[in-house]
Structure 1
Amino acid sequence: MTKAERTRHFIVEKAAPIINKKGMAGTSINDIVEATRLTKGSVYGNFESKDEICLEAFDYLAKRVGADIVMAMSRANSNKDKLFALFEYYLAVVSQENTYGCPLLNFGTEADDTNPIVKQKVNKAILATENLIAKVVRSGIEAGEFKRSFDPETFSIKAFAMIEGGMWIARLQGNNKQLQIILDSLKQEIDDYCQ
């Protein structure tokens, strides 16, 4: 990595949690300058605009979340346990201080009507997560863990939407009660499809 690439990465790494918390519109270039302790000229010497930083911040956060999910699921032996590990990952994330919620939800909500490029990136990340869930369900069906009547696509869409909604409620209410109910319901559905 060149010095310029390291500097860009450093700026994105420091800016990403701020943008995830305050939003793209709510984050000022001064917030980024303060977090990086670089000059405004140095920040703008590496990025053309705050929007460019926001785009890379989303990519950075989405990549981290994806890697964390894969890591959590990789520790499980069965496909059922992989899905349960995914659910526990989301529950742990919502419980952690300073995570500021799911970047897909945060960026997606803000970009819905205002930023088609970010909206497209969020849609791509949503589909990747749904595809991951569906892939695990399909693998479980092929391995004989799950009944053939278990619909991978329907379950993945439902699970993702329910989890994101539960995370949103948990962040707003400051407790995990609804998210836990959602995850327990999804676990029960998985158990119902086990052979």
Structure 2
Amino acid sequence: MSKGEETRQFIIEKAAPIFNVKGIAATSMSDIMEATKLSKGSMYVHFENKEVLACAAVDHNMKVLGDKILMTVGKAKTAKEELFAYIDFFNNPLNPPVIGGCPLLNFGMEADDTNPVVKEKVNGGIRFTQRVLENSINKGIANGEFKPDWNAAEFSTVIFAMLEGGNLISRISGNNDKMKIIVKTLKSIIEENTL
């Protein structure tokens, strides 16, 4: 990696949590300059404007989240363990796996009506996550772990939506009580579909 590429990556890594915590609109280039200790000129050598940097920060946050999900799910020995690992990965929104909380939720809510580029990035992240879940269910059906008539696509939507909703409720309320209910419910559905 060249010196310029290293500096660019350094800026992204410092900016990513700031954007995830404050949001794209509320984050200023001076926030990033303060975090990186770089001058405005140095910043603009690597990113032509805040929007370009914000898109790189969204990508970074989602890659961090995706890598952590894959690492967590990858340790499981069965399809059921994969689903439980995924649920447990998100079971404490007050101590999120990515600084600032789930970037899909954070950036998705901000960008849905205002930023079509970020909206599409988040949509891609949602599709990726649902494919991971669907693949686990289909694997479990194929190896005889799960009922053959379990609809993998539908449950991948349910599990994703319930955990994201629980994330929102927990972060707004400042406690995980509702997430505990969601975790229990999701695991119960999985048990009902386990052979």
TM-score range relative to shorter protein: over 0.9
Note the 1:1-195 alignment, pairs <5 A.
1-92=1-92, 94-96=94-96, 99-195=99-195
Amino acid across the alignment from 2:177: K
Deviations 1:86-134 (A, max 9, x none): 1111124542498211001100111011000000110011011011100
Is 2:96–2:102's contact at 8 Å kept on the other side of the alignment? no
Deviations 1:149-173 (A, max 9, x none): 2110000011101100100111111
- Cα distance between partner residues in 1 of 2:86 and 2:97: 19
- Cα distance between partner residues in 1 of 2:98 and 2:116: 27
Provide the alpha-carbon RMSD of the alignment.
1.2
TM-score normalized with structure 1 length: 0.97
TM-score normalized with structure 2 length: 0.97
- Cα distance between partner residues in 2 of 1:93 and 1:178: 11
Is 2:90–2:96's contact at 8 Å kept on the other side of the alignment? no
Is 1:93–1:99's contact at 8 Å kept on the other side of the alignment? no
- Cα distance between partner residues in 2 of 1:135 and 1:98: 24
Amino acid across the alignment from 2:100: Y
Instruction: Count how many residue pairs are aligned between Structure 1 and Structure 2.
Output: 195
User: Stretches of 4+ moved more than 3 A in 1?
Assistant: none
Amino acid across the alignment from 1:179: M
Question: Gaps spanning 5+ residues in structure 1: where?
Answer: none
Q: Secondary structure at the match of 1:99?
A: coil
From the superposition, tell whether residues 55 and 68 of structure 1 become closer, same or farther in structure 2 (CA, over 3 Å). same
Amino acid across the alignment from 1:89: F
Is 1:33–1:43's contact at 8 Å kept on the other side of the alignment? yes
